[in-house]
Amino acid sequence: MKRQYFINANIVDPHNSMNENGGLIIGEDGKIEAIGKKVNTNNLPTRERPIDLDGKYIFPGLVDMRVFVGEPGYEYKENFRTLSNAALAGGVTSVVTMPNTDPIIDNVSIVDFLKRRGRDKSKINIFPCASLTKGVEGQTMTEFGLLQEKGIIAFTDGIKTIQNSRLMSRIMNSAKDLGSLIMQHAEDYELAKNGMINSGIVATKLGLSGIPDIAERIIIERDLTLLEKTKCRYHISQLSSEKSISTIEYRKDKVQFTSGVSINNLSLNENDIGDFRTFLKLSPPLRKEEDRLALVKALKDGLIDVIVSDHKPEDEESKRLTFAQAATGASGIETLLSLSLELYHNGSLKLETIISALTNNPAKILKINKGNLSIGSDADFCIVDINKPWIVKKNKLISKSKNTSIEDKKLQGKVLNTFVKGKELFKL
Amino acid sequence: MAIKTNKAIKISQKHLLGIQDLSINDVNLILDEAKDYIKLNQSSNKRTDILKGKTQINLFFEPSTRTQSSFELAGKRLGADVMSMNISNSAIKKGETLIDTAMTLNAMHPDIIVIRHQDSGACNLLSQKVNCAVLNAGDGRREHPTQALLDALTIITRKKKIEGLRVAICGDIVHSRVARSNIYLLNMLGAEVNIIAPTNLMPKEIEKFGVNTFTDMKKGLKDCDIVMMLRLQNERMTSSYLASNREYYEYYGLTQDKLDHAKPDAIIMHPGPMNRGIEIDTVLADDINKSVIKEQVELGVAVRMACLKIFCK
């Protein structure tokens, strides 16, 4: 690989507290050689022809902590190749994949398969999760130690929640012994039973069963109580309500934990469901505008650490049904950054806060050397025109599944190029 | 309700999916049309040929006696060709989706499809996929517009108006599409609506619909002109909502001592089918001076004839 030179970029790298106009040099080994304002035309070798980015932005490649890939079992929804291409178009270079495949990622032999497929078919960095319990049935815990040794980054039942408190307590004990990261999708099944959307006026009007916000809070309260006893690495996958935030705010200085939020819950509310739009059937559900605003504020205040796409590809057949029958989830990895930038353009959040929640914060939780532009690190980054206007059209999405929650939405900011280990793998 | 409209006014909607979508003119148009059919239905020759040559398909995914037979009879009395699909023998049992069923039926060029489905919003989905008019005969917990319209017609027939009346709707509100449609319609027509239910059967934030809510039935019935009882929908109850039917009857069953809190000339309504001895005392249900339950069924046919005529272009 030839050495590459970029100049005159706005570089935002929260890990190194960098937000400045400068350049970037990528070495022949695909690693970052130099970065920042020191890199400019005055100190580059004269024979080199650097690429002038004309004030475009450089961000570290995004680290998306909650992504569903259909492989194995649901290849018709998304495979590693289509996921990679979709991710690259959104500036995402590292993903944490959920174990809810068929079969479930719950034993050592399937991890070998997964790693091989990921390596052969994927262009981005895949960090697979295994399930917390066998078959995500919430009964018997999986082999955290052995699975970790095979390269599992974290443990979660993905779309499911550990309901049994005794089991959760034992999971935390094991996780503490083995240094494992536990990620909980917080929802009390009994309170949320048959629920499809947020409990309240919209559910009442549409005649759909509701999922109350306390269904989330009660699991968070329980887990944080258990965490006081057993201090393990614990992450709440997605928060969705103001009530949950008041809980974590109260607990933050007593126990150590981290939390995430889906870009859907940060950008949309229950009113967007309109006339039974099944693409907005999500878990956790979209809630009230007050909840959305509370989530944005929590991100601003540092109570929430990461933003995830909660990318859940579903084919047309799973969505062209009545709301009750339709599958849950939305495709979102391609629009994650652009939709997040909306919160910058409308003055809700600082650019650094958003980029941090998409890069170095998830990397820190996962303990991986990604989501930064440090010298010597892999040159995983994206070049972004943060002002470029565009309209989301599902048929133009690269992902195999077109179930976007923001069809026809006008966005500002688009990824122009994405690099992984110094190689340009996406170009608009 | 005294607003008399010009009959030339056209309906604003292509489909009848819910009361929510209707304007007051639409409602008056339907009710005025229905009044004409009441007399026809009482005469010896009930048949007209207003919808001659038109095809009506009844698509009932949920068991129904009165609504299905009412729609069937309404179509036949207007001279339409009426076909009622038997879902238990159809391709739906073989795994066909609602949209595919809709496309199949659509290819047969019906003029109107009447649908009842257990899922809220099923009629909305259907209406997006077919060319003909869709009439909602009940979707999940969301709406049952013709029931609300026939209830309104029954009230008008008895009380000569709706505006200013106080109406109590009592019982299993959370599972009831009848309650939702009635709330919209009664509000639109100027009635005051009291909702009476135990908290477990009260939908979230229902007060935002502009109704008064009560957990004490006697307070809720105070000075009411109309007492509308709803059926306890045991088939929709997935977990313990109530301790027992016995206790429910004690606190929410309509009995004479509770009815005494309403106005002396209050009338009793029920969309049927009734659970006698659970939500309503059997003697009250059969009291011809107070109960208009049979009248509701009778006027139901007239209202459905009006809807079929108006929506069948």
Residue A267: predicted pLDDT: 97
Q: Chain A residue closest to B117 (CA)?
A: A322
Judge: A275–B121 Cβ closer than 8 Å, yes or no: yes
Q: Which of A206, A273, A275, A319 to mutate to test the interface with B (most CBs of B within 10 A)?
A: A206
Q: Mind listing the pLDDT tens digit for each residue in B176-207?
A: 999 999 999 999 999 999 999 999 999 999 99
Rounded Cα distance, B57 and B72, in Å: 9
Mutation site, A205, A214, A319, A321, interface B, largest B CB count within 10 A: A205
**pLDDT band of B1, cuts 50, 70, 90:** very low
Residue of B nearest to A273 (CA): B121
Q: Mean pLDDT, to the nearest integer, of B274-280?
A: 92
> Pick from A271, A267, A265, A293: which is nearest to A205 by CA?
A271
| pLDDT value of residue A404 | 95
- Least Cα distance to A349 among A396, A297, A392 occurs for A297
Closest in B117, B118, B208 to A201, CB measured: B208
Put simply, the answer to whether B141 touches A201 (Cβ < 8 Å) is: no
- Neighbouring CB atoms inside 10 A of A259's CB total 25
Q: Within chain A, which residues score under 50 in pLDDT?
A: none
Return the pLDDT at A138. 96
With CB atoms and an 8 Å threshold, state whether A210 touches B119: no
pTM here is 0.92
Instruction: State residue A331's pLDDT score.
Output: 96
CB pairs under 8 A between A and B: 68
A253 an active-site residue? no
Give the chain A residue whose CA is nearest to the CA of B181: A205
Q: Which two tokens stand for residue A289?
A: 């505008």
pLDDT surpasses 60 at B40: yes
* Yes or no, beta carbons of A275 and B122 under 8 Å apart: no
Tell me the helices (H) and strands (E) count for chain A, helix number first. Answer: 14, 18
Q: Which chain B residues are closer than 8 Å to A200 by Cβ?
A: 204-205
Question: Which of A190, A207, A320 is the closest to B142 by Cβ?
Answer: A207
Closest-CA distance of chain B to residue A200, Å? 5
Catalytic (active-site) positions of B: 66-67, 94, 116, 144
Q: To 5 degrees, how large is the angle CA A356–CA A360–CA A362? A: 100
Cβ–Cβ gap B122/A322 under 8 Å: yes
Predicted pLDDT at A252:
93
Count of alpha carbons within 13 Å of A297, Cβ hemisphere only? 11
Residue A90's contacts (CB-CB under 8 Å, 6 or more residues apart) are A62, A309, A333, A334, A335, A336, A337, A338, A415
ipTM of the complex: 0.89
Residue of A210, A212, A276 lying closest to B121 (CB–CB): A276
Residue B6 has pLDDT above 60, yes or no: no
Q: Touching check for B172 and chain A: CB below 8 Å?
A: no
- Say how far apart CA A408 and CA A391 lie, in whole Å: 6
- Chain A nearest-CA distance from B177, in A, is 7
User: Confidence class of residue B102 from pLDDT cuts 50, 70 and 90?
Assistant: confident
> Is the pLDDT at B7 greater than 60, yes or no?
no
CB contact under 8 A, B177 and A207: yes
Contacts of A205 in chain B (CB under 8 A): 20, 142, 180
> Nearest residue on chain B to A194, judged by CA atoms?
B238
In angstroms, the CA A427 to CA A393 distance is 19
pLDDT bin (cut points 50, 70, 90) of residue B236 is: low
Judged by CB atoms closer than 8 Å, whether chains meet at A321 and B97 is answered as yes
Testing the interface with B: which of A188, A204, A211 to mutate, by most B Cβ within 10 A?
A: A204
Burial B190-202 (b: 16+ CB within 10 A, else e): ebbbbbbbbeebb
DSSP 3-state assignment of A259?
strand
Q: What pLDDT does residue B8 have?
A: 53
Least confident of A407-411, B79-83, B89-93, B263-267: B89-93
Nearest Cα residue in chain A from B175: A207
User: What are the tokens at A397?
Assistant: 């999405």
- The average confidence (pLDDT) of chain A is 96
* Residue B204 to residue A323, Cβ atoms within 8 A: no
Tell me the C-alpha distance between B44 and B275, whole Å. Answer: 33
Taking CB atoms and an 8 Å cutoff, what residues of chain A touch B211? none
Q: Residue B239 and residue A190: Cβ atoms within 8 Å?
A: yes
Q: How confident is the model at residue B303 (pLDDT cuts 50, 70, 90)?
A: very high
User: What pLDDT sits at residue B95?
Assistant: 75
Nearest to B204 among A200, A275, A323 (CB): A200
B177:A201 CB<8 A: no
Strand partners, A155: A130, A182
Q: How confident is the model at residue B239 (pLDDT cuts 50, 70, 90)?
A: low
Give the DSSP H/E element, type plus range, for residue B24: helix B24-42
